[in-house]
Structure 1
Amino acid sequence: MEKSVVSVVRVGADVESAVRRAIELAGGLDGLIGPESRVLIKPNICSRDRSGTGKITDARITGAVTKIILERKPSRVVIGEGSAVGYDFPDLQDTMMALEESGTKAEAERLGVPVVDLNRDSHREVEIPGALAMKTVKIASTVLESDVIISIPVMKTHIRSAITLSLKNMKGVMPGGEKRKTHQLGLELAIADLNTAVKPHFTVVDGLVGMEGLWEYPDDCVRPGLVGASRDPVALDSVFARIMGVEVREVMHLQYCQEKGLGIADPERIEVCGEAISEVRRPFRPAFEAVKSRYPGLAVLGEKACTGCTNEFISTLIYIRLAQQVDRLSGLTVVLGEAPEVLPAEKAVAIGKCAQRLEGRFPFVPGCPPGVDEITRKVCEVCHIDIRLVLQKREELHRTIAGKAMRESI
């Protein structure tokens, strides 16, 4: 039985050498990239953060991969990304700002490679054969015009999909409205459908620094010091899920992708080269475990919430914790995403457009997604927290080095 090959390499002082070794162990790029190839390099720059925070792909990894690809002299190389929901407002907050903050834009300029904001690119509607949830999807033209897609995710757990690696990284090829749609239709089903249309041809995963829990910087930083690669994105995600201590059978989008024939998730059918999983395994803390331990007494209903609302709310929690007002959250229920028909709660806040059916019955914060300040004010009002104290702590945080890396993030 032929097995999918995934490499796992420890990274020392020379990041580029580690990336080269990972690519070579995974079978290399021969037969994949030639003189006529049009290559899209797709890092995960989901938010406006600096390299080294673990929230976004480290620019050093993106630069090393780009350099290696350029050595093969393809006809075109582009670095493209469409950052998360809320990053599609030119001159206010958009992907280009995130690419600049991360250092990715500077790497691209150094190597003479253009960068493209896939949120603002023209888009085309694509039909998905054998769709599980999403029959059609809008995809950036730059992506569809590429012969080879190289995905460069960063190691992170995720509040909705357990992990976010190569397969989920492809959400960046869609405009903001389409990203929201994936949550409404069922995120993990939609990830499988999306990769049916635009599956990466090769993946290099950034495991220098990753994120667990709620992606709070620096508390949730994890430093595996790894890089990995594979021609099979499903197999790569399976291996790095295991490294993060996540059971592969519990990651539904991996199962769906395997069933659709997009790759191999079954550990028995994957060959790991380089470091053994047992030697580098480091369990990452799940998001809801972090919520329960840091915010006891707070209930969060967010089964179909997108990252837009979720991440703005997590920022609110960070500010309240810094203000030492966590005790006042006890008994609060927060609804993110699609609201339930019945909500047996005395104290609740509904956040975002998808929870609008609760407006009138419970305090409601409109928006898609609403801003963190609006969410913070409403939660403080309901929980009788001094908003001035919370905003003061927020400003103090933003003046620190950690705050600069975290600002407008997640």
Structure 2
Amino acid sequence: MKRNQIFIKSGTEYKKMTKELLAESELADMIGDRSLRIGIKPNMVSASAPSNGATTHTEIIAGILEYLKENGFRNMMILEGSWVGDRTSDVYKVCGYQQICDDYDVVFHDTQKDKSFSKDCKGLQLKICDSVKDIDFLINVPVLKGHCQTKITCALKNMKGLIPNSEKRHFHSMGLHKPIAHLNTGIHQDFIVIDNICGDLDFEDGGNPVVMNRILTAVDPVLVDAYVCDMLHYDVSEVPYVGLAERLGVGCSDISKADIRVCGENLQVNVPKRQKVVELADAVEAVDSCSACYGYLIPALDMLKQDGLLEKLREKICIGQGYRGKTGELGVGHCTRNFKCHLEGCPPTEQQIYEFLKEYITK
């Protein structure tokens, strides 16, 4: 597979599709040495079933493992860490990864429990989980979905699961885009298998899955993320980490140079333009908010909107690390604990936020 290529396959037999797509991509030849240690990095953001639109389908992971074993590879591991606020061990069970590891006799490494090392990522010193050093060839398996802070999340942002929780919080204090781009100079993903089966195109934590029944493969994470931007009706400039990663030498964001190949039946996918997050975010004043906290707030606001209550909210909701030690009227999360009205939690759940704001609006 060439660096400018993106392969796409449609259907509902996900494990079979994955194996066929990897064969088309000539992955075994790309890896070469059968003794190499291969790391498989899914998206296990939270304890939410893949059908909910947030986490990587285990059928895809099974397809990757079967393909590798059938081609003589034996040294594989799955590594991932959930977002701050969830435990990877819970996701491991809920999303079927325990069964996958048992069935294929593969080690699972929880990066939330990992030690870390500091690395100069082209001018930005970042902490990376130790397990990354044990990998010779990294297969990234992100979910193609929306994100309430960065608009899209796919190949580049999925590397965030390979840093410790303390660094994840630090990323948000730096504004997400810059550290995401720099992280991809410090962690090299060698091959990408994208779960485009039913990602939520609004929220990274799922809840509104959009069935598309596709799997993609690629080599260049910048190019494929630029392709995702275009698919979801965003200009690359609206997702700054994509262009910044290009300028740092991670890849190419010019999709006019992409060789996009449909393997098998060409099923047209028309993606509606999504503006839900943009509309809901008008009610929020976020300063350095972590993904989990913000990611639970936005769906809670959507619930309030459906109830006809959000339009009655007259006060902006403050959220994020930037409010530590400060005072104000209305805040969500532990960082706003000095506010007059605040909901404790790091993070509070979507339902807790909904109930808190519903009471605040109706009292």
Structure 1 stretches lacking a partner, 5+ long: 88-93, 293-297, 386-410
**Which one of 284, 293, 307 corresponds to residue 300 of structure 1?**
284
Partners of 1:191 and 1:206 lie apart in 2 by: 20
Shift of 1:216: 7.7
8 Å Cα contact 2:323-2:335 kept in structure 1: no
Cα separation, partners in 2 of 1:144 and 1:111, compared to 1, 3 Å: same
How far apart, in 2, do the equivalents of 1:250 and 1:163 lie? 10
The answer as to whether partners of 1:329 and 1:383 remain within 8 angstroms in 2 is: yes
1:168 aligns with 2:167: no
Q: Could you say which residue in structure 2 is the equivalent of 1:310?
A: 294
- Equivalent-residue separation in structure 2 for 1:365 and 1:67 (angstroms): 46
Task: Give the direction of change, closer, same or farther, for the CA distance of 1:328–1:273 in structure 2 (3 Å limit).
Answer: closer
Q: Displacement of 1:30 after TM fit?
A: 1.0
2:257 maps to 269
Q: Distance in 2 between matches of 1:82 and 1:162?
A: 21
Tell me the CA shift for residue 268 of structure 1: 2.0
Q: CA deviation at 1:354?
A: 4.4
**From 233, 246, 261, the counterpart of 1:245:** 233
2:91 pairs with one of 92, 95, 98: 98
- 1:333 maps to which residue? 316
Q: Which residue number corresponds to residue 391 of structure 1?
A: none
Aligned residues of 1:6 and 1:239 also touching (Cα < 8 A): no
* 1:350 counterpart residue number: 331
| 1:215 Cα deviation after fit | 5.7
Q: How many residue pairs are counted as aligned between the two chains? A: 359
Deviation at 1:192, TM superposition (A): 0.7
Identify the match of residue 221 of structure 1 among 205, 209, 217. Answer: 209
- Cα deviation for residue 24 of structure 1 reads 3.9
Q: Does 1:254 align with 2:235?
A: no
Output one character per residue of 1:286-315: Cα deviation in whole Å (capped at 9) or x when no partner.
Answer: 4424527xxxxx711225321121133245
Q: Which residue is equivalent to 2:271?
A: 282
SS in 1 for 2:112: coil
1:241 counterpart SS class: helix
Do the aligned partners of residues 159 and 373 (structure 1) sit closer, same or farther apart at CA in structure 2, a change above 3 Å counting? Answer: closer
Structure 2, unmatched stretches of 5+, are none
Q: Is 1:159–1:287's contact at 8 Å kept on the other side of the alignment?
A: no
Instruction: Classify the secondary structure of the residue corresponding to 1:209.
Output: coil
Structure 1 residue 368 corresponds to structure 2 residue 350: no
Equivalent residue of 1:7, what SS?
Answer: strand
Percent identity of paired positions between Structure 1 and Structure 2: 24
- Structure 2 distance, partners of 1:22, 1:240, is 19
AA at the equivalent of 1:332: E
Give the distance between the partners of 1:141 and 1:254, measured in 2 at CA: 26
- The answer on whether the counterparts of 1:155 and 1:205 sit within 8 Å (CA) in structure 2 is yes
| Residue of structure 2 equivalent to 1:399 | none
Instruction: State the match for 1:120 in structure 2.
Output: 113
Residue 69 (structure 1) aligns with: 68
TM-score normalised by the chain length of structure 2: 0.88
Q: Deviations over 1:307-329 (max 9, x none)?
A: 1211332454466567x362574
- Judge conservation of contact 1:245–1:281 (CA < 8 Å) in 2: no
TM-score by length of 1: 0.79
Per-residue deviation, residues 99-153 of structure 1 (Å, max 9, x unmatched): 211112212211111111110122222222233xxx222x222222101111101
What is the CA–CA distance in structure 2 between the aligned matches of 1:285 and 1:75, rounded to whole Å?
42
Contact 1:212–1:284 (Cα < 8 Å) also in 2: no
Q: State the alpha-carbon separation in 2 of the partners of residues 157 and 76 from structure 1.
A: 33
Contact 1:38 1:76 in 2 (8 A): yes
Q: 1:305 to 1:263 in 2, by over 3 A?
A: same
Change (3 A) 1:329 1:217: farther
Q: Which amino acid aligns with 1:264?
A: C
Does the C-alpha gap of structure 1 residues 222 and 373 become closer, same or farther in structure 2, counting only changes over 3 Å?
closer
Secondary structure, counterpart of 2:9 in structure 1? strand
- Residues 1:214 and 1:240: Cα distance change in structure 2 (over 3 Å): closer
Alpha-carbon distance between aligned partners in 2 of 1:3 and 1:83, rounded to the nearest angstrom: 29
Within 5 Å, give how 1:113-192 maps onto structure 2. 113-131=106-124, 135-137=125-127, 139-192=128-181
Q: Write the distance in 1 (CA, Å) between the matches of 2:238 and 2:76.
A: 36
